[in-house]
Every structure is written in structure tokens, then in C-alpha cells.
Amino acid sequence: MKKFQLIHIIFLGLFVLTACQKKQKEHEVHTNTVPNQTNTMKVSSLDPTNFKEKINGKEVNLYWIKNKNIQAAFTNYGGRLVSLYVKNKNNEFVDVVVGFKSNKEYQESTEPYFGATIGRVGNRIAKGKFTLNIVEYTIPINNGENSLHGGTKGYQDVVWTASQPDAQTLVLTYLSPDMEMGFPGNLQVKVTYSVTNDSELRMEYQATTDKTTVVNLTNHAFFNLNGEGSGTILNHMVQFNAKEYTPVDSGLIPTGKIESVIGTPFDFIKPHTIGERILEKNNQLENGGGYDHNFVLSSTRNNNMNHVGSITGDLSKIVLNVFTEEPGFQFYSGNFMQGKNTFKSGSKDEYRTAFALETQHFPDAPNQPNFPSIVLRKGDLYRSTSVYKFSL
């Protein structure tokens, strides 16, 4: 009898252990978090075969760059950041970038810019026109009466050539031909994405041209620092090193003025949550449907870069500090997210459930003589570095 009881207890224990392990695995898949492992991190929600195909006759794949502190997934279709895992307050890995589970979903999305490398000119060009050396150039209109992020087929729609010199680095290159989307000059672009042991994602942009042109490259990652699918970003805490911004008209084209943020909802010199003042009666907030504006960076140098500031996830306590060589950045509070797309976690892209922070030269710079120039001439090297640094 005692022997039978012992066997019964052993079988019962094995059943409970198996059930617990199954429940834990299901939890990891549904929450899209990575188990707390020292050397190996497995992401169950991304199937590489969903990214392995030919688009426009070119090979597309999923690429991981990683170390023990940070892990990022990219597809060379659009040079997109698909996932970015960093540690939260519980020492668990959380995916803080929203994205999709396949190239097809990126192609069919009503929002074309999730995670994409943006060019040839990021942000807006008024009426899709600008003049260089007394020649007027026309870019396809795709945002009201203006051109946005390089026209109807910007760099988010091209297949980049990818190489990985090591486990922590991905190099993407693309030759943008003369007059592609109306831009002059054959532009050779190189973007190096890398992760560091200090929990940083580095973005290093380079470009050369054989004819005078305009260039303004960036990445359009959408973040939720509590994790993809965790709800609103309005309670994220924000602090920016920006005393000025560039106000816009109703089409989100800068007026040409550079104005102080003091006394306005754009003053994040001291910390405020994203949602604290977003509903205030303010002409600029009405024009943007919330925050969708370029901020002018104050000179707060760190390792030869401007410190943009920090954003903190209210639930995860993950802190994102951004550094850049650019003179400004676009802060976007997810105002046009409509719940029409399903992310890799199974959640929808609901209103204001992710934000973007794009390091950049100012919008409509070719048409604004008092803004820093984005003109690149033959023989010159376009070079710019930005860093997303994560901590608690």
C-alpha cells in the first residue's frame, strides 16, 4: 500500500510540473516577453520563414543582432526594426517596439512606416516641391497636399542589401538611383545598426551622391516602453532638452518660425507625462492632432552628441535615453493609430498605444532658408549617428 501511494505521489507531481511548464510557455508566447536567460534569448512569436522571400527579385530575411542585455530583429524589407527586447524592472525581457510577424503584414499595413529606415528625405516637404541650383524638383504627394518620408515609395518600400560582420551588427546598403521619387543624384546609402553591452541600439547613417541633392535619414520605430500591446502611452514620463520647437500649419508644414516652448504644452524641460496636457486647447496640438512636431535641441553634449532627453515607461520602469548628432527630433504621440492593424503580439494598433521619436534635420528644410541645410553635394559625405540607450 505504501509503495502504491509513493508511485501515485510521483505521477501526481510529474503531472503538476508538466502543467505548470505548459502554462509558463503559453504565458511567454502571449505576453511576447523573453525568458530571463543569461546567454540565450528565444523569441517565440517571430518565425523567420515569414520574412524569407523574394520581393522585387531581391532576397529578404529576418536578422537578429544581440548580446546579453539587448536583442533586436530587423528585416531588410524597408530596413525595418521588427522587435527590440530590453529588460524591465523585474529583470525580464520585454519587446518595446511594435511591429508585425511577416513582410506581408508590413506591405498590407495601413501605416507604412512601422520600424522603417526613412529616406531620401524624412518628414514633410511642402507641396512636394523644392529648388536646387535654380532647378525645381517635384516629389510625389502622399500626405494631403505634401510629400512625406520620401514620397509614395520611400525607403520603407525598398529591399536593402544586408550583411552581418558580427553578432551585434547589421549593415544595410541601398543605391537610390538618380530621380527616384524625383530626387536628383545617385545616392549610395549605408546604415549600420548595432547593439552595445550598455543596452544601446546605435544607428549610423552615411551617404554619398554624384549630383547635388537633399538627404535627411532617420528610423521610424514606434515604441511602447511597457511592451507591445500593453495599452496607452499617455502615462509615459517625458523630459526633453529642447527649449524651442518649430510650429506648423494645418498641413503640418513648419511656418518657418522657431518658437520657445516655455508656457506651452510643448515644454518638457521638466518631466511631464505625454497625456498630461495633450487635450489642452492649443492651436498647435489641434494642427497635429496631438504631438507631431519637430523640437529644436539645446546644446547638451554627451560623447559628442546632443542628448535629446528621456522617456520612461510607467509600468515597466524602462527608461529610453536618446542621443543624436542631428539638430532636432520629431515627437509623435500616435495620433493617427486607428486599430486597423494587428501586431505580432496579437494586439491592435489602437489610438496612442505607441510613440515615435525620430532624430532629424527640420521638416521642409529645402524650402526654409533659416533651417539647417540638408543639401548634400558631390564629393561630400553625409554622416549622422543616433543612439537609443535603455536603462531602469
Could you tell me which residues come within 8 angstroms of residue 89 by beta carbon, excluding any fewer than 6 positions away? 316, 317, 318, 392
Grid cell 553635394 is found at 377
> What percent of the chain has pLDDT above 70?
88
State pLDDT tens for residues 208-253: 999 999 999 999 999 999 999 999 999 999 999 999 999 999 999 9
Q: Write the CA distances from 376 to 132, 187, 208, 359, 379, integer angstroms.
A: 11, 10, 8, 18, 9
Continuous H helices in the chain:
2-31, 103-108, 283-288
Cα–Cα distance measured from residue 211 to residue 227, given in angstroms and rounded to the nearest whole number: 43
- Residue 264's SS3 state is coil
Cα–Cα distance measured from residue 191 to residue 22, given in angstroms and rounded to the nearest whole number: 41
Cα–Cα distance measured from residue 152 to residue 237, given in angstroms and rounded to the nearest whole number: 34
Mean pLDDT of 106-126: 98
| Main-chain dihedrals φ then ψ at residue 335, nearest 5 degrees | -70, -25
The per-type count for the chain, helices as H runs and strands as E runs, is 3, 31
Cell digits for 176? 537610390
**Contact (CB, 8 A) for 73 and 46:** yes
Cα–Cα distance measured from residue 271 to residue 97, given in angstroms and rounded to the nearest whole number: 22
Cell digits for 87? 529588460
**Confidence bin at 299 (pLDDT 50/70/90):** confident
Cα–Cα distance measured from residue 165 to residue 168, given in angstroms and rounded to the nearest whole number: 8
CA dihedral sign of residues 155, 342, 229, 65: negative
**Contact (CB, 8 A) for 360 and 328:** yes
**Contact (CB, 8 A) for 181 and 153:** yes
**Contact (CB, 8 A) for 360 and 122:** yes
Mean pLDDT of 253-269: 98
pLDDT value of position 4:
42
Question: Pairing state of beta strands 93-95 and 213-214?
Answer: unpaired
Cα–Cα distance measured from residue 211 to residue 231, given in angstroms and rounded to the nearest whole number: 46
**Contact (CB, 8 A) for 192 and 169:** yes
Q: What is the mean pLDDT of the chain?
A: 91
Mean pLDDT of 200-213: 98
| Catalytic site positions | 220, 358
Q: What is the CA radius of gyration of the chain?
A: 22
pLDDT value of position 360:
98
User: What pTM was computed for the model?
Assistant: 0.88
